[in-house]
């Protein structure tokens, strides 16, 4: 196990903790308080399981079969049957970082001591995470009510030795991975299958990692916009703090401040700022558009941060009251709504970026050579990358249709309203990935465009640092070349955070 460990108590997990475990190889362990809470709730479950009391999911079947009473001798089999029958997902598996986030969040919610799982079983899930045994979890199959039953069952059957897992870079049978790691399959007790597969953990894990990436991309979007603004000889008046003080949106203020700092010291802006009083909306309204998307992400963050420390399975155990309550915390509506909102916010970053790109390549709208290339006509330059951005933006328009307004009843109409939160989260990631590609193309185009002005005038301190970072990996284009690799290099710079890092080294941390 890694020496770097996150201690889980079900109450204090952060987005940064999720990134550490999902992407940086940190392990996890339960706090002493969590262990005590888990044991207390499980003791009560065992007491109920040994009795004739009717308790949903412990002495009865599940969903529409809740009225079917299960005999004491079959109650352990019930839990394992639940997982195997529900592990019926299809589609591509979630990537390893998402799977690790799913495992971490499942452990965290179960550690609150309201789910009835045993300490031994929960420790088994911790051991899987720390050993790097990552169950293969197909991404399709959740409707987001009773949470993510299908994908969470694929996670949980690994504890039984079933299914496949990514282990040390290979997909292998789970039993092979367990043996190599010195672990063994376990048998489940009362309610443990239901505790393992009932809740919003999968959509929450996808949402958490997407949110982290989106918050980073928002800063890059401001940088790309500032580079384009300078290259297009834009005027600075729309970023004046006095204007933004009259409209109290945090995102708008932050973006305007970022752009002012990025272009500070720009000889280009100084030279052309008296040519006109205003620019097209794709330049002039960057604070309002980028800012609104940032504010949307702030709302998404508030919901995701609540969810990562919530208990979302059913029924819930209240040991102090010696009570069990069947409720609906598993319903994914809070996440479904905000991930639809997330997708719209990210689509807008891409939409306005594509409009700036269109201005960069259109000589009738700028002082730049047609399609940003010398000897245009013989050379097509950056004509078609803007097409690519247009295609991605159009794709986003379809993907941005909300999933949360859809519902297909399941479980013989017992589950008659579902959230579709799983797809809302996955679809939001697709929009995020498209937006990242669009902004990579804008970064490539704006760097090329700035080269025409840099011959005689110096850009702002922030935009200069961004330009130099791009040029460290991508040369100025003198004539037509195979462009795909250049776009891929720009995308790599963004994914590694190199451009943002270079800018912040020059002007300090961006909002």
Q: Record the tokens describing residue 42, joined without a space.
A: 């499980």
- CATH class of segment(s) 206-309+341-507: mainly alpha
Asked whether the beta carbons of 457 and 271 are under 8 A apart, the reply is: yes
Asked whether the beta carbons of 340 and 351 are under 8 A apart, the reply is: no
**pTM for this prediction:** 0.95
Burial of 398 (0-12, 13-18, 19+ CB in 10 A): exposed
Asked whether the beta carbons of 290 and 349 are under 8 A apart, the reply is: yes
Please state which CATH number belongs to domain 5-199.
1.10.275.10
Write down the residue that tokens 């299958």 correspond to.
Answer: 193
d(CA 475, CA 481): 11
Three-class SS state of 172: strand
d(CA 335, CA 299): 11
Q: What is the DSSP code string of 291-358?
A: HHHHHHHHHHHHHHHHHTTS---SSEEEGGGTEEE---TT--HHHHHHHHHHHHHHHHHHHHHHHHHH
The torsion angle over the Cα atoms of residues 224, 225, 231 and 234, rounded to 10 degrees, is -170
pLDDT of residue 1: 44
Tens-digit pLDDT string for the chain (511 aa): 447 999 999 999 999 999 999 999 999 999 999 999 999 999 999 988 888 777 777 777 666 566 677 777 776 788 899 999 999 999 999 999 999 999 999 999 999 999 999 999 999 999 999 999 999 999 999 998 888 999 999 999 999 999 999 999 999 999 999 999 999 999 999 899 999 999 999 999 999 999 999 999 999 999 999 999 999 999 999 999 999 999 999 999 999 999 999 999 999 999 999 999 999 999 999 999 999 999 999 999 999 999 999 999 999 999 999 999 999 999 999 999 999 999 999 999 999 999 999 999 999 999 899 999 998 899 999 999 999 999 999 999 999 999 999 888 887 777 878 899 999 999 999 999 999 999 999 999 999 999 997 678 999 999 999 999 999 999 999 999 999 999 999 999 999 999 999 999 999 999 9
Sequence-distant (6+) residues with CB within 8 A of 256 are 239, 240, 241, 243, 244, 287, 291
Sequence-distant (6+) residues with CB within 8 A of 131 are 1, 177, 181, 183
pLDDT of residue 41: 97
pLDDT of residue 258: 98
pLDDT of residue 358: 98
Q: Record the tokens describing residue 456, joined without a space.
A: 């005689």
Closest CA to 45 of 108, 122, 105: 122
Q: Domain residues of the chain, as ranges?
A: 5-199, 206-309+341-507
Phi and psi at residue 171, to the nearest 5°: -90, 120
pLDDT of residue 63: 63
Residues that are catalytic: 56
Closest CA to 426 of 111, 150, 92: 92
């Amino acid at each position: 196990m890694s020496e770097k460990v996150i201690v889980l108590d079900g109450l204090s997990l952060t987005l940064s903790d999720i990134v550490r475990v999902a992407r940086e190889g940190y392990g996890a362990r339960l706090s002493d308080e969590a262990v005590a809470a888990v044991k207390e709730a499980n003791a009560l479950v065992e007491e109920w399981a040994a009795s004739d009391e009717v308790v949903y999911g412990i002495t009865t079947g599940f969903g529409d079969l809740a009225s079917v009473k299960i005999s004491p001798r079959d109650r352990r089999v019930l839990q394992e049957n639940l997982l195997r029958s529900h592990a019926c997902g299809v589609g591509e598996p979630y990537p390893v970082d998402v799977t690790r986030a799913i495992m971490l969040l499942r452990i965290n919610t179960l550690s609150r001591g309201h789910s009835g799982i045993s300490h031994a079983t929960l420790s088994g899930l911790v051991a899987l995470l720390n050993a790097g045994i990552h169950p293969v979890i197909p991404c399709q199959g959740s409707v987001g009510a009773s949470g993510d039953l299908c994908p969470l069952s694929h996670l949980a059957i690994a504890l039984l030795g079933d299914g496949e897992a990514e282990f040390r870079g290979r997909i292998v049978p789970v039993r092979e991975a367990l043996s190599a790691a010195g672990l063994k399959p376990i048998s489940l007790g009362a309610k443990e299958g239901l505790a393992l597969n009932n809740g919003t953990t999968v959509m929450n894990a996808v949402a958490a990692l997407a949110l982290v990436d989106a918050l980073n991309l928002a800063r890059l979007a401001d940088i790309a916009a500032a580079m384009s603004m300078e290259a297009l000889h834009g005027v600075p008046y729309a970023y004046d703090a006095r204007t933004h003080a009259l409209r109290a949106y945090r995102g708008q203020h932050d973006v305007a401040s970022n752009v002012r700092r990025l272009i500070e010291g720009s000889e280009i802006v100084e030279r052309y700022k008296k040519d006109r009083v205003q620019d097209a909306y794709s330049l002039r309204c960057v604070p309002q558009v980028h800012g609104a998307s940032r504010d949307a992400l702030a709302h998404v963050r508030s919901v995701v941060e609540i969810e990562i420390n919530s208990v979302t399975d059913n029924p819930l155990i209240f040991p102090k009251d010696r009570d069990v309550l069947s409720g609906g915390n598993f319903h994914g509506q809070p996440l479904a709504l905000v991930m639809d909102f997330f997708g719209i916010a990210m689509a807008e970053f891409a939409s306005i970026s594509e409009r700036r790109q269109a201005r960069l390549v259109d000589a009738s709208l700028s002082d730049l050579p047609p399609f940003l290339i010398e000897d245009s006509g013989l050379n097509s330059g950056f004509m078609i990358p803007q097409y690519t951005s247009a295609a991605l933006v159009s794709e986003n328009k379809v993907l941005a249709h909300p999933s949360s307004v859809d519902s297909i009843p399941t479980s013989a109409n017992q589950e008659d309203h579902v959230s579709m939160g799983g797809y809302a989260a996955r679809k939001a990631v697709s929009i995020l990935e498209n937006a990242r590609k669009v902004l990579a193309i804008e970064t490539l185009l704006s760097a090329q465009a700035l080269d025409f002005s840099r011959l005689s005038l110096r850009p702002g301190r922030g935009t200069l640092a961004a330009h130099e970072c791009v040029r460290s990996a991508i040369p100025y284009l003198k004539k037509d070349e195979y462009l795909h690799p250049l776009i891929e290099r720009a995308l790599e710079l963004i994914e590694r955070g190199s451009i943002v890092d270079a800018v912040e080294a020059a002007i300090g941390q961006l909002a």
